[in-house]
Amino acid sequence: MLPLVTDPRTRARWAEEYSARARAYWTEERTKQLVGDKLPIMRPADAAVLLRALGLLRDDASLPPDRARKYFQINHMVALLLPALRELRARHPRVRLLDAGCGRSYLTLLIAWCARHVWNWELEVIGVDRNPDLIAEARRRAEIAGLDEAVRLEVGTVEAVDARDVHGVVALHACDTATCDALALGVSLGAELLAVAPCCQAELARGWSALAERGTSGPFSTIWGTPHLRRETAADVTDAMRTALLRAAGYDVLAMEFVPSEHTRKNTLIRAIRRGAPSDAARTEYEALRVATGGVGIRLAERLRGQLHDAEVYERSSGRREHEQ
């Protein structure tokens, strides 16, 4: 582990020396071998100090193959978010994002780094994770990368985050139902951008497994009763349900592959941009999908139930007010 040097002048000297070492190591040829013809948001030579702080580059500035996966994941995620982040930036002089289940804060720190060193934006990222050891490590990394003033790293659960004026909520592989909690949080905060790469939500698969154990029959019973098919199908249906529920909450939603499957099998990115009014048709679509696949719902539906109801009441009452004027 890279030690944290507390003296700012010694740290600045280290950063300069390390950047020079990385520029010498990351020749055009080596960079091309790594990234091919793609133009990554962050080439190793340009963000060496950050990549070293994140534990992705070694002391000699090389990138071990097992770390390259994370390098590509966070680069791809930021590249896909950039158009939406630009929209936020056009509306807000200081953009505020929340990274839910930030872990060691790869994504939090990359976004903060790009804002400062590449885009020249005023941007603050709040990283929240329930694991205090990971937050301690993330804070150490932020200091090494010189980003401790651009990020706020807090121990807490996604369900109970207390934040305001957040323009975007992101979550990269937040475990199990934490992705649904991150989306529900974003909707409740009125966030304009939601972007999640879901992890291993097992809720639907568990419910389907219980149906199989009870001997329930239906068009999906082969899937309910076959662990591999159940897991794979449940992941996709969960994402389809999330898409419908976010549309129901007034978001334009796109689910896409964000990184080739050789880097990770958890390679779906759901990106939602708040555009309009809640949609009853999308809520009906969610219900139809839930019923058609066995009647098991997902946590996001539960978390949004009150919120969507409130939104509907609000829409109706404001419509009535307009009508009465």
Ligand X SMILES: C[S@@+](CC[C@H](N)C(=O)[O-])C[C@H]1O[C@@H](n2cnc3c(N)ncnc32)[C@H](O)[C@@H]1O
Which range touches ligand X (CB under 6 A), out of 19-27, 86-94, 146-154, 172-180?
Answer: 172-180
Instruction: Identify any residues that bridge with 253 across adjacent strands, giving them in sequence order.
Output: 272
Task: Identify the residue among 45, 95, 123, 172 touching ligand X (CB under 6 A).
Answer: 172
Q: According to CB under 6 A, which one of 46, 129, 137, 285 is a site residue for ligand X?
A: 129
Closest CA to 108 of 133, 132, 127: 127
Of the candidate spans 128-136, 186-194, 250-258, 299-307, the one that interacts with ligand X by CB under 6 A turns out to be 128-136
Measured at the alpha carbon of residue 8, what is the angle toward residues 6 and 13, in degrees to the nearest 5?
A: 110
Q: Residue 324 — φ and ψ, nearest 5°?
A: -75, -20
Q: Is 127 in the site for ligand X (CB under 6 A)?
A: no
Token output for 20: 């020079």
Told to check if 126 binds ligand X by CB under 6 A, we report: no
Greatest alpha-carbon span in the chain: 71
Q: Which residue is nearest to ligand X (CB)?
A: 103
Stretch that binds ligand X, among 13-21, 97-105, 223-231, 267-275 (CB under 6 A): 97-105
- The one-letter code for the residue type at 234 is A
Based on the shown chain and the rule CB under 6 A, indicate whether residue 174 belongs to the binding site for ligand X: yes
Rg of the Cα trace of the chain?
22
Q: Using the rule CB under 6 A, which residue among 131, 188, 221, 279 binds ligand X?
A: 131
Query: Is 170 a binder of ligand X (CB under 6 A)?
Result: no
Is residue 134 near ligand X by the rule CB under 6 A? yes
* Sign of CA pseudo-dihedral 226, 230, 231, 236: positive
Closest to 121 (Cα-Cα) out of 88, 155, 148: 88
Which of 199, 211, 255, 259 is in the footprint of ligand X by CB under 6 A? Answer: 199
Q: In the complex, which residues of this chain contact ligand X (CB under 6 A)?
A: 101-104, 106-107, 128-131, 134, 157-159, 172-175, 178, 181, 199
